[in-house]
Structure 1
Amino acid sequence: MTKIRWGILSTAKIAREKVIPAMQRGKYSAVTAIASRNAEQAAETAKRLNIPTVYGSYEELLTDANIDAVYIPLPNHLHVEWAIKCIEAGKHVLCEKPIGLSSAEAIKLQQAAAKKPELKVMEAFMYRFHPQWELAKELVDDKRIGPLKTIHSFFSYYNADPNNIRNQKHLGGGGMMDIGCYCISLARFLFNSEPLRVLGHVTIDPVLQTDTMASGILEFSTGTATFTCSTQLMPYQRVQILGTEGRIEIEIPFNAPPNQPVKLVVYEKNGDEEMTFEPVDQYTLQGDLFSQAILNNTPVPTPLEDAINNMKVIEAIFASAKS
């Protein structure tokens, strides 16, 4: 069976612990190379994860003719720069969310990708590929809970370490870029449209200068979505999806564990239905679906336009909070 040969740009924690092992289990993905500016760290990671080829620079990896696609888990401020370099090197690109630091950056990437239409480029919002979200979308579209009227999502964890990349403003840190982007993405995904107006409230840490708590209201033409995200609260996540005739609750909406079942509950007037999903790795699914788009020369599941629009809403939340 043909597999896409993947190169990994950096030894970031999410790559080491989540994405690489998941993609190595894929039907259509093979991780063949990894690069780091620290050659020793790259070699150590490659040995532990059984990756055959190691590079001591990102540039070297991009010149490897045996690599078809590149996964980018670099810090947020480097996403667009290196995604464009990958495109210019003739590589397909799967880039971690958020796609960049601004919608203008994302548009710049879209323009670069348009010059090489044979290449696939996508933002890595892995949650959308989990079966629980595919079912949630299907239930909403089929009006199982009646017309969709409102969504509430919550996502938080506690991390006040100033040395952590998520708390460094100049690297694109902060709660909205890290986890709030999920809350916005899912609302746009379920309403299948863009918000008409937003209202935002953002708390900025006086020392870190990053947003440590943000809440927003997104007004769509047929309903609303509200959310709160925080990097300095007790870890918690949940999504409530409400229609005129029922409600859907997703218990672990974003980082569903790959080694244990998860559940979605539909609450209706005539009773509740609990739907359990057997363990599955959403990173494996994401890698395989992207690889299949390359192999079959079909559109990627989520186009760059979606990434641009998500960034526009994030910017609008910040603008609202300031005004």
Structure 2
Amino acid sequence: MTIETPARPYRFGVLSTARIAVEKVIPGIQRSRLARVTAIASRDGERAKAAAGRLGIETAYGSYEEMLADPEIDAIYNPLPNNLHVDWTIKAVEAGKAVLCEKPIGMNAADAERLRALPADAFVQEAFMVRFHPQWLRAREIVRSGDAGALRAINMFFSYFNVDPQNIRNSPETGGGALLDIGCYPITAARYFFEAEPVRVAGLIENHPVFGIDRLTSAILDFGDGRRADFTVSTEIVPYQRLNLFGLKKRIEIMIPANAPQAEETLIAVDDGSIHGGGSAVLETIPVSDQYAEQADAFARMARGEAPRQYGIENAIQGMKIIDAIFRSAQSGRFEAVV
């Protein structure tokens, strides 16, 4: 669905022709109401030109530096490998751009904390598009209303199957592995729905014997006051994802919490436990939406000062601290404080 944009759309430039960019994020931004991708850069100029032609992008650059110097670009979307996120985010801010950086924001908290040296008015946001999908917003609305009772437990499973030795997700040097790549989603979900931060975590990790990345990771996040979240993520299990929120009175289930189909309806289920006595869950249909388009619109409004800024640098650093604590726990065999 194409919606008419303002006369002056918010203009994104994209660093690289990464798959997530060309297949998901750029098409989403092009569907948004307020934003457009007007430039794309690659170290291979021909690759940039080819992507620009396919995606209806006006300008293609043969280097990242050239694009950062373009005064007609308002913001940079950074989908580079994880080990390059912080470096190129800093360079983009120094070039006067706002930055939407693909998750995770960095390799670890120390890496991410380098962003604190940026000017106070720098706008950097981690690209968790799920936070803007109407299905997440609706689930949180139910939680906030109290209709489900106090939220006590959150559970998420997220997996895919990838044994390609050339894929960057299987390389420790580029920030591969299940926890950094997809474990950040259940961590984000827990923080989003509890609207709080965990005080301690426990992690259990199985590493790939050749690649060296974590291929099966489970964790418990303790939010205090009897609230906890647990999750399992894997790079080598049949693809699946599901998110459940358990309140004292009702359970809320998001069927496809992370990779919701673009520009399609989605479903959430709400049940009060009667399903186990022969009842059924109430299904809510969430209208057609593209979470990448919703993210672009929200980012544009925040960057332009039309809405309060959310999910900035400190939020992203906190997410990395939680990931670091899970890795520490897997080594120590005990709960680790999030510090």
- Provide the rounded CA distance (Å) in 1 between the counterparts of 2:151 and 2:241: 21
Deviation at 1:269, TM superposition (A): 5.2
Partner residue of 1:141?
A: 144
Partner residue of 1:158?
A: 161
Which runs of structure 2 are paired with 1:283-294 in the superposition (5 Å)? 283-294=292-303
1:186-210 per-position Cα deviation (integer Å, ceiling 9, x unaligned): 1011111111111100010010000
Deviation at 1:116, TM superposition (A): 4.9
Partner residue of 1:268?
A: 272
- Provide the rounded CA distance (Å) in 1 between the counterparts of 2:169 and 2:309: 28
Deviation at 1:285, TM superposition (A): 0.4
- The residue type paired with residue 215 of structure 2 is T
| Structure-2 change in CA distance of 1:259 and 1:4 (3 Å) | closer
Q: What stretches of structure 2 of length at least 5 have no aligned partner?
A: 1-5, 333-339
Higher mean displacement: 190-199 or 204-213: 190-199
Which runs of structure 2 are paired with 1:1-323 in the superposition (5 Å)? 1=6, 2-112=8-118, 115-117=119-121, 119-222=122-225, 223-268=227-272, 272-296=281-305, 298-323=307-332
- Provide the rounded CA distance (Å) in 1 between the counterparts of 2:12 and 2:263: 24
1:147-178 per-position Cα deviation (integer Å, ceiling 9, x unaligned): 11111100000001110011111000101111
Q: What stretches of structure 1 of length at least 5 have no aligned partner?
A: none
Deviation at 1:297, TM superposition (A): 5.0
1:272-318 per-position Cα deviation (integer Å, ceiling 9, x unaligned): 32111122110000011101112235433322221111111111111
- The percentage of counterpart residues that share the same residue type is 50
Contact 1:151 1:224 in 2 (8 A): yes
- Provide the rounded CA distance (Å) in 2 between the counterparts of 1:239 and 1:26: 26
TM-score by length of 2: 0.92
- Provide the rounded CA distance (Å) in 1 between the counterparts of 2:248 and 2:306: 40
Task: Give the superposed CA RMSD.
Answer: 1.2
| Structure-2 change in CA distance of 1:280 and 1:305 (3 Å) | same
- Provide the rounded CA distance (Å) in 1 between the counterparts of 2:74 and 2:96: 8
- Provide the rounded CA distance (Å) in 2 between the counterparts of 1:133 and 1:293: 19
Aligned residues: 320
- Provide the rounded CA distance (Å) in 1 between the counterparts of 2:132 and 2:200: 28
Contact 1:289 1:301 in 2 (8 A): no
Deviation at 1:216, TM superposition (A): 0.3
- Provide the rounded CA distance (Å) in 2 between the counterparts of 1:276 and 1:297: 29
Contact 1:150 1:241 in 2 (8 A): yes
SS in 2 for 1:261: strand
Contact 1:154 1:228 in 2 (8 A): yes
Contact 2:264 2:290 in 1 (8 A): no
